[in-house]
Amino acid sequence: MRGGHFGWFRIVTILLDGGQVAAPANGRITLATLTEKLVASAPAHVETVRRLVIDALTKQQSNQLGRVSGSILAQLNAPGERPSRQSGKRQP
């Protein structure tokens, strides 16, 4: 995973600043909780993605996107590709 923990920290910080996740005030984030604000925004986000991305594709492009996405997910779910929760290192 490129960016490692710093990339995730940046994303969580943005979500914290926007009130979309809650975490301890001491800055030592190991568990962030989704807030109602983030959960409530999901339907609008899905609609926007559908309108701007999915609806813009032809049937053939949509099928291609499905195949490409399937390949990416298979690679992400392959053994050794997910960091362990305890160490942040890749699992063997």
* Tens of pLDDT, residues 32-61: 677 888 888 889 999 999 999 999 999 999
Query: Among 69, 92, 90, 91, which Cα is nearest to 1's?
Result: 90
How many structural domains compose the chain?
Answer: 2
At 91, list the tokens: 């699992």
Task: For residue 61, give both structure tokens.
Answer: 């492009």
Q: Say yes or no: 40 and 77 in one domain.
A: yes
Task: Give yes or no: residues 44 and 76 share one domain.
Answer: yes
pLDDT at 86: 47
Q: What is the pTM of this model?
A: 0.48
CA distance 75 to 65: 15
Examine residue 30 and state whether it is found in any structural domain, yes or no. yes
Same domain, 41 and 73: yes
Q: What is the DSSP letter of 28?
A: -
User: Which pLDDT score is estimated for 82?
Assistant: 58
Q: How confident is the model at residue 29 (pLDDT cuts 50, 70, 90)?
A: low
Which residue range forms the structural domain that includes residue 57? Answer: 36-82
Task: Give the model's pLDDT for residue 11.
Answer: 78
Residue 89: inside a domain, yes or no? no
What pLDDT is stored for residue 28 in this prediction? 67
